[in-house]
Chains A and B, each alone.
Chain A
Amino acid sequence: MTPREIAVGLSRSRREFLRTTAGLALGAALGSSSPFVRGEAARKKRKTIVVTFGGGARDQETFAPEGQENIPHLISELAPQSSFFTHVTNHGILGHYVATASLTTGVYETLNNFSAVPPEHPTVFEYFRKDLRRPASDTWVVAPSNGFNRIGESDSRSFGPGMGAAVILPKHLLSATAHGPTTDLEHLLRDNYETPLYTPELGGSEFEVQQLESILRLSVEDFMAHARTLSSPDELSVYIAKRLMQQEAPSLLWITMHDIDVAHSGAYSLYIEGIRRTDRLCAELWKAVQTEPEYAGNTTMFILPDFGRDSDYEPGGNGFQHHRTGDAASRTTWMMALGAGVRRGVVFDEPMQSVDLVPTLGAMLGFSPGEAQGKPIKEFL
């Protein structure tokens, strides 16, 4: 089969599975009018949350029939109320930082995946804040600590410094607050194996420890005490995200999950554990959206992987362990949209690219992502 045939096969398998198991309908069978709420008043209240189902999960461990046992929350709780896009392709570099940066800019970035450098092109946060005149407190990024600290703001000259999103690196925060031995917190400080040895020098607008109290209204003691009840870095990220929702209620919140990337160590059981945990955490976040007064009823949440992982049958790879070959399995993923204005229980097969997310957000929220390469997804127009 050609890569395109494989990609189409993957999306078809997701579609068939969702239709039969979750009872979703095909999008093409429905009317073409926009499902989204329009009007300036609605825009002002709207909240948007983007969750990257990272780092790198394959179809066969998620939406393919044999993978469904690993994502019970996505399948039975979230998919039935979502618009599901079965065929999302990432044509860019398949490194987690560079791919996530590409998601935030709508351009396939070419920066060094292992360097603490900002994206070259303007980020969604900069477009959002500049065009809609939003304060810094209205956009936040919660990300793993390995290099993602510069993701909130580009070095584009069209936007001045300080026009992006503040970035919280929960693991960094934990390291900084944990004075003395942290034996009981080590499980929250796990690194992914692709970059096990280095956390690049931190710089840019990362969250400062003292802001724990001023922004999250959280004492170091309470933060540490809660951290001890958690089991992984992504759990810590979701905890911080929920705290941000309560205290700052940002209109644009971006959360990057990363536990799954433990797959680079080659231990399949840990990779599966990561997927199951991410599935649970996505549902937990969605539940938080329903219970937070600032978010309930007016929030649109997008969940999408940054990319997949190599196929078992790709001779140049080693199956689930890496995402190095650029094969169809590693490039083809999915996207789920939930909440305000989203048509529920619909499956869309039309191919889209991961760089289409930013233009889509622009069309929905009313800003102009002038340098983005992607195009708005027509189902949202």
Chain B
Amino acid sequence: MQPHDLQAEQFSSYPPEARRLVVSHLETFRELPLVFIPGLLREIVDYDFKFPAERSAIESELALLSALTPPQREVRFRAFEQLTISPKLEQFDWINQPAQFTEQLSAHLWSTHQLDAFRAAATEYGSRLQSGMPPQPLAVRRLGIAVIGQGVMSYDGQLFKNLRAHGTYFNQIKPGRGLELLLEGVASRSQAYPVSYGHWYVDGGLESGHGPGLTCVSYRSLEPLRASLLRNVSAEIQKPGMGPEELRTHLARITPSDLEMNPSGDAVLDRFQLKILTEGSGTQIFSTTFAQWTAREVLRRAQPLSLLVRFAPRQRQRPMNELLSNTKGESEVDPMGSLIDADMASYYHWINQQRLSGYGESAFLAWFEGHGEALVVAPTLPRGTTSSSALDLGQLLSLAIS
């Protein structure tokens, strides 16, 4: 199938809003290179289950593509046009299976030594796209909070090593009611700036009490879903012909009903949670990985104004097959290893936040739970310095966002 042959009826299996979107831009799709389209369709096919920020980005991208003149389009996609793909890929059902196509395309690009050219083309395309979509002003500066080290009594190593150059390290923080104060702070932001999926609380363990304005995802609450997924995977790998790539394809196709996921009444959030478990590597077995990957995906997809992530101790390492089969439960935990995991994850949280609009004004707070160590990155605070101010977490949060 070549793009210029595209017909509206070929998208009949798409969810209604996704179908409407594609059909209304069919002329544009017909002019785009085959190597590019499935990547875009992969996003659009889930349009009905996307967050508002994602929907808006897709709509803007389609509007920009539709506005290109033929010479502009030729320049914009020249690098993509120069890539060659196999006849097998050309014949693949990329309309109905865009994710599977992009996986196979990736393998093809690696094996034909075209990956670097594709990366360069995609990076260039992304930069041009971003420059064509000036960011909307934010209602309030973005805030990220990472709470790390739950269950660790003492730690001799240096925390927040990667972040210190970017912010102020506090060593005399009063830890009392710390989590509560931070959650209250985020909840009050959700009341003051009510935005759909704009304020999040991710917990790597059991979620604490929090305001109703927060979208909450926790490792513990997804336990039944994780167990169901691991059972599904265990059954699947017994089938003849299965391999890592086939399993990945299988995971990409899983829907909430396949795992008998209880609908929460929020189909968008249900799909998001499912994807965290089916697309993330290690999210099914390590709570620290779950929290880190969820934070990354929340930032990338929902682009929230507030995101508080609290890490919990993960289970100890065991042979991977045993971790996946989950036969022995998760009783033994590794608090110290989890602290190190979470310390790095908090750095990634900040990096991912800095990829979003308003990064120059955004604030980030990381705290060693139950202890006096914290770090704040904010435009109003000096970088690479240490403060011995004796603040509680509420006061520290105010300082970060003031």
Determine whether the beta carbon of A198 is less than 8 Å from that of B340. no
Determine whether the beta carbon of B286 is less than 8 Å from that of A265. yes
Interface residue A262 (Cβ < 8 Å from any Cβ of B) = yes
Bound-state CA distance A186–B318 (Å) is 7
Count A-side interface residues using an 8 Å CB cutoff: 43
Determine whether the beta carbon of B345 is less than 8 Å from that of A268. yes
Determine whether the beta carbon of B337 is less than 8 Å from that of A191. no
Would you call the interface of chain A mostly helix, strand, loop, or mixed?
Answer: loop
Interface residue B322 (Cβ < 8 Å from any Cβ of A) = yes
Contacts of A316 in B (CB 8 A): 119
B141-157 CB contacts (< 8 Å) to partner A: none
**Are A187 and B282 also in contact (CB < 8 A) when A93-B110, A320-B344, A326-B115 are?**
no
**Are A93 and B111 also in contact (CB < 8 A) when A191-B320, A193-B282, A265-B286 are?**
yes
Contacts of A190 in B (CB 8 A): 317-320
Interface residue B289 (Cβ < 8 Å from any Cβ of A) = yes
Determine whether the beta carbon of A267 is less than 8 Å from that of B288. yes
Interface residue A195 (Cβ < 8 Å from any Cβ of B) = yes
Contacts of A32 in B (CB 8 A): none
Interface residue A91 (Cβ < 8 Å from any Cβ of B) = yes
Bound-state CA distance A265–B110 (Å) is 23
**Are A315 and B355 also in contact (CB < 8 A) when A193-B320, A195-B244 are?**
yes
Out of A93, A114, A262, name the residue touching B243 (CB < 8 Å).
A114
B322-358 CB contacts (< 8 Å) to partner A: 322, 324, 334, 336-341, 343-345, 347-348, 351, 355
Interface residue A161 (Cβ < 8 Å from any Cβ of B) = no
Contacts of B343 in A (CB 8 A): 268
Count B-side interface residues using an 8 Å CB cutoff: 48
A272 to chain B, nearest CB (A): 7
Interface residue B116 (Cβ < 8 Å from any Cβ of A) = yes
A380 to chain B, nearest CB (A): 27
Determine whether the beta carbon of A196 is less than 8 Å from that of B296. no
Determine whether the beta carbon of B348 is less than 8 Å from that of A319. yes
Residue of A whose beta carbon sits closest to that of B118: A326
Determine whether the beta carbon of B319 is less than 8 Å from that of A187. yes
Interface residue A293 (Cβ < 8 Å from any Cβ of B) = no
Out of A191, A267, A272, A312, name the residue touching B314 (CB < 8 Å).
A267
A1-43 CB contacts (< 8 Å) to partner B: 3
Interface residue B283 (Cβ < 8 Å from any Cβ of A) = yes
Out of A91, A114, A198, A312, name the residue touching B348 (CB < 8 Å).
A312
Interface residue A100 (Cβ < 8 Å from any Cβ of B) = no
Contacts of B282 in A (CB 8 A): 193, 264-267, 321
B194 to chain A, nearest CB (A): 29
1/0 per residue B230-246: CB within 8 Å of A? 00010001000011110
Out of A91, A93, A266, A312, name the residue touching B351 (CB < 8 Å).
A312
Residue of B whose beta carbon sits closest to that of A312: B351
Out of B161, B286, B288, B324, name the residue touching A197 (CB < 8 Å).
B324
Determine whether the beta carbon of B161 is less than 8 Å from that of A192. no
Contacts of B322 in A (CB 8 A): 186
Contacts of A191 in B (CB 8 A): 319-321
Residue of B whose beta carbon sits closest to that of A188: B319
Interface residue A218 (Cβ < 8 Å from any Cβ of B) = no
Bound-state CA distance A367–B149 (Å) is 56
A-B pairs, top 5 by smallest CB distance, nearest first, are A266-B289, A266-B282, A269-B340, A269-B337, A265-B282
Q: Which residues of B contact A (CB under 8 A)?
A: 110-113, 115-116, 119, 161, 233, 237, 242-245, 247, 280-283, 285-286, 288-289, 292-293, 296, 314, 317-322, 324, 334, 336-341, 343-345, 347-348, 351, 355
Q: Which residues of A contact B (CB under 8 A)?
A: 3, 66, 91-94, 108, 110, 114-115, 186-187, 189-198, 262, 264-270, 272, 312-313, 315-316, 318-322, 325-327
